[in-house]
C-alpha cells in the first residue's frame, strides 16, 4: 500500500483510525483507503454520519465562543483529531487575541498534521498523548508552556467519550482532569446516542460492531449516562440537549433530523 508523503512513519495502514474516519466524514483528505472503506460502511449503516460530524463541529465552535464570552481563553482539546476549517484555535483566536489552545491526540497523522497547521500560529500547540493518561497530559512540557492551570480552562471532549467503555474508566480519567482545573473552568462535551433520536438502536449496534471489527470502540449512551460525565460541574443553560439545540445561532427549521442523534452540553466548575 502506497504511503502518502504526509503520512508519518510507523503507521499501521491496515487498520482504520477513529480520527481519520472522522476526517473523511468531514470531507478531509488526511485519511487512507482503509479509513475510507470503514467510513463508507459506517455511512451505509447511518447515512447521516457526515451531517452528525458537522453538527458536532458547529456545537464545538459555539461552545468555544461561549467560553471566550465568559472570559475563558485557555482551551485543552483532547481527542482533537485532524484539523479542519473552523478549528478551535481559529474560532478562539478570532474571538480573543489572548486565546491559547492545546490540542491532544494519540493518532500520529492528527498530531503531524496539527503541527504543520500550527507551525506559524502563536499560542497554540499539539501534544501526542492519550485521554487514558491524564497525568501525561497535565504534566507535559507543552501543557506547561501553553496553559496556566491556575486559571480557568475550557476542557473539550467533543465526540470522544463514546470511544471508551465504562471498564476503560472514562469517568475516573475525566475526574482527574477536572480536579486539576481551576474554578471557573468549563467542560465542553458531546456524545453519540440513539436515545430520542432518528437513529435506531439497531443502527447504533451496527456502528458499534463495525468500529469493534476495526479494533476500536463505540458506545452509545443514554442522556442519563452522558449526564454522569458532568459530575463536579454545573450544567449551563440549556443543559444537556441535542447538539443543534445548544445555544443555536439561528432558527433550526433547516436542520436534518439525523443531527439530533447525540447529546451536547457545557458544564461549569464552581
pLDDT tens-digit series, residues 18-72: 999 999 999 998 899 999 999 999 999 999 999 999 999 999 999 999 999 999 9
pLDDT band at 3 (very low <50, low <70, confident <90, very high): low
CATH classification code of 18-268: 3.40.50.150
pLDDT band at 5 (very low <50, low <70, confident <90, very high): low
pLDDT band at 84 (very low <50, low <70, confident <90, very high): confident
Span 7-27, mean pLDDT?
87
- Cβ neighbours of residue 247 under 8 Å, at least 6 residues apart? 62, 63, 66, 238
Question: CA-to-CA distance for 55 and 193, rounded, in angstroms?
Answer: 14
Grouping H, G, I as helix, E, B as strand and the rest as coil, residue 95 is helix
Grouping H, G, I as helix, E, B as strand and the rest as coil, residue 155 is strand
Grouping H, G, I as helix, E, B as strand and the rest as coil, residue 142 is helix
pLDDT digits (tens, 9 = 90+) for 94-134: 999 999 999 999 999 899 989 999 999 999 999 999 999 99
Q: What is the pLDDT of residue 62?
A: 98
Q: What is the pLDDT of residue 162?
A: 98
Question: CA-to-CA distance for 171 and 251, rounded, in angstroms?
Answer: 34
pLDDT digits (tens, 9 = 90+) for 187-212: 999 999 999 999 999 999 999 999 99
Going from N- to C-terminal start, the domains of the chain cover 18-268
Q: What is the pLDDT of residue 13?
A: 79
Beta bridge partners of 268: 186, 234
Q: What is the pLDDT of residue 201?
A: 95
Q: What is the DSSP letter of 167?
A: G
Which residue in this structure is represented by grid cell 462535551? 189
Which residue in this structure is represented by grid cell 501534544? 127
Question: CA-to-CA distance for 260 and 195, rounded, in angstroms?
Answer: 9
- Cβ neighbours of residue 49 under 8 Å, at least 6 residues apart? 25, 39, 42, 43
Is residue 168 scored above 80 in pLDDT? yes
Q: Give the three cell numbers for residue 96.
A: 480573543
Residue in 196, 201, 257 with CA at minimum distance from that of residue 209:
201
Question: CA-to-CA distance for 67 and 199, rounded, in angstroms?
Answer: 30
pLDDT band at 251 (very low <50, low <70, confident <90, very high): confident
Question: CA-to-CA distance for 200 and 195, rounded, in angstroms?
Answer: 8
pLDDT digits (tens, 9 = 90+) for 201-245: 999 999 999 999 999 999 999 999 999 999 999 999 999 999 999
Give me the phi and psi of 223, to 5 degrees please. -60, -40
- In contact, 253 and 194? CB cutoff 8 Å: no
Which residue in this structure is represented by grid cell 478551535? 88
- Cβ neighbours of residue 55 under 8 Å, at least 6 residues apart? 243, 244, 255, 259, 262
Predicted TM-score (pTM) of the model is: 0.94
Q: Give the three cell numbers for residue 207.
A: 456502528
Average pLDDT, the chain: 94
Is residue 6 scored above 80 in pLDDT? no
Amino acid at each position: 500500500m502506497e504511503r502518502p508523503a504526509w503520512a508519518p512513519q510507523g503507521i499501521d495502514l491496515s487498520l482504520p483510525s477513529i480520527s481519520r474516519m472522522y476526517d473523511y466524514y468531514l470531507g478531509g483528505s488526511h485519511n487512507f483507503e482503509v479509513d475510507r472503506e470503514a467510513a463508507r460502511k459506517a455511512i451505509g449503516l447511518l447515512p447521516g454520519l457526515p451531517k452528525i460530524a458537522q453538527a458536532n463541529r458547529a456545537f464545538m465552535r459555539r461552545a468555544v465562543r461561549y467560553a471566550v464570552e465568559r472570559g475563558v481563553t485557555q482551551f485543552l482539546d483532547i481527542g482533537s483529531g485532524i484539523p479542519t476549517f473552523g478549528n478551535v484555535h481559529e474560532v478562539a483566536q478570532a474571538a480573543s487575541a489572548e486565546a491559547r489552545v492545546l490540542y491532544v491526540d494519540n493518532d500520529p497523522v492528527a498530531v503531524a498534521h496539527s503541527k504543520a497547521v500550527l507551525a506559524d500560529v502563536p499560542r497554540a500547540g499539539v501534544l501526542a498523548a492519550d485521554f487514558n493518561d491524564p497525568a501525561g497530559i497535565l504534566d507535559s512540557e507543552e501543557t506547561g508552556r501553553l496553559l496556566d492551570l491556575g486559571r480557568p480552562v475550557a476542557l473539550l471532549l467533543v465526540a470522544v467519550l463514546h470511544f471508551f467503555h465504562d471498564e476503560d474508566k472514562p469517568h475516573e480519567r475525566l475526574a482527574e482532569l477536572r480536579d486539576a482545573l481551576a474554578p471557573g473552568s468549563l467542560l465542553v462535551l458531546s456524545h453519540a446516542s440513539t436515545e430520542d433520536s432518528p437513529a435506531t438502536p439497531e443502527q447504533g449496534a451496527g456502528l458499534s460492531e463495525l468500529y469493534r471489527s476495526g479494533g476500536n470502540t463505540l458506545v452509545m449512551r443514554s442522556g442519563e449516562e452522558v449526564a454522569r460525565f458532568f459530575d463536579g460541574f454545573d450544567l449551563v443553560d440549556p443543559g444537556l440537549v441535542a447538539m443543534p439545540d445548544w445555544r443555536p445561532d439561528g432558527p433550526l427549521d433547516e436542520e436534518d433530523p439525523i443531527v439530533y442523534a447525540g447529546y451536547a452540553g457545557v458544564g461549569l466548575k464552581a
